[in-house]
Amino acid sequence: MRDTRESRLLLVLLIAVAFALITVDIRGGANSPVDGARQAAAAVFGPVENGVAAAVDPVGNAIGAVRDSGRRHDRISTLQAENEVLKQKLGSDARNRSRLNQLDSMLKTAGEGQYGIKAAQVIAIGAAQGFSWTVTIDAGSNDGIKRDMTVLNGDGLVGRVTTVGPSTATVLLANDPDFTVGTRMESSDELGFATGHGDRPLSVQLLNGKAKVNPGDRLVTFGSQADKPFVPGVPVGEVVKVDPSGGDLTRTIYVRPFVGFTKLDIVGVVVEAPRTDPRDQVLPAKPKPTPTPTVTVTATPSATPNGQGNTNIADQNANPNPNANANPPAANANPPAGNANPPAGNANPNPPDPNADPNGNANADGDQ
């Protein structure tokens, strides 16, 4: 349609009619005069609208799903990021607690032995090729660390410092085959030399071939001259096996170290030796043996006929019935008349006088 004066006038007229119908419909409410026309239009155009909606809805839903999927993906990513932060926080808290426990245990060991220590953390582990067991710590010459210093943790002897840099140092672990330390047995003071064997127990060569050693005995470091490389009294391990004595000058025992060399974290370098040898003070207290329960069975004495218990066994055996022994029954003391006085026929061999009892049963004349 061309834009003419008549077309514009028609458009304005249609708009005015539309507003008039709307006004009448609103004012009429439920009784609107156009309600019938609206229902008729709904009956005609409703099925058309449903068909169009059925055809268009899947497309609209797909578009909405694509649009919402971005928001869902962002929400999932946000939740995953929050979970990762929580996991890292929980893991960090657990590790911090573990490190605090290790530090507390090491400080306790240092305090009992009066060792001046410099705490450090294991930051690297050497390759175990050829049984080379070493670790790197984050303390060096700038922290007062020097070569041939003793390294320990809360459990006992870790090793000795071999190489020192400005901020790091290398520690040779006690289970390395090139590691040797002088040891002393708890209580017996037997001396020996311990050598590492990787992940196997340490072997200790006792100087006394006839030394009495039992599994469970414990060893500490004997100490070196001028306390380098080892200070005295550091716990080494516990005896797990003893070779039989063959009459040699030395004797070999096998010791399980107190330290777990595969899970080192916090260690301490002894920068100041104790003034006196702590001896066995640093060793942990031995666990008390669990007492074995003992069951005691007590026999209950049986009652006697007169109601008295067996309080005097000797008297009871000697005289179980004093009255029966003192005064025997009449049957024993005085036998029955039939036994004490047998019948006349048996007790009196002479026949009775026939004159004395003419009606008697025993009649010498045979008048029975």
pLDDT value at residue 6: 76
Q: Are strands 116-125 and 191-197 parallel, antiparallel or unpaired?
A: unpaired
User: Which two tokens mark 315?
Assistant: 């008297």
- Cβ proximity of 121 and 151 under 8 Å: no
- pLDDT band with cut points at 50, 70 and 90 for residue 121: very high
pLDDT value at residue 33: 66
pLDDT value at residue 254: 97
pLDDT value at residue 9: 80
Residue predicted with more confidence, 150 or 33: 150
- Cβ proximity of 209 and 245 under 8 Å: yes
- pLDDT band with cut points at 50, 70 and 90 for residue 99: confident
Q: Global pTM?
A: 0.56
Mean pLDDT computed over every residue of the chain: 76
Residue 181 has pLDDT above 70, yes or no: yes
Lowest mean pLDDT among 103-112, 212-221, 245-254: 245-254
- Cβ proximity of 215 and 241 under 8 Å: yes
Nearest in space to 186 (alpha carbons), one of 156, 208, 209, 216: 216
Residue 278 has pLDDT above 70, yes or no: yes
- Cβ proximity of 182 and 190 under 8 Å: no
pLDDT value at residue 47: 60
- pLDDT band with cut points at 50, 70 and 90 for residue 88: low
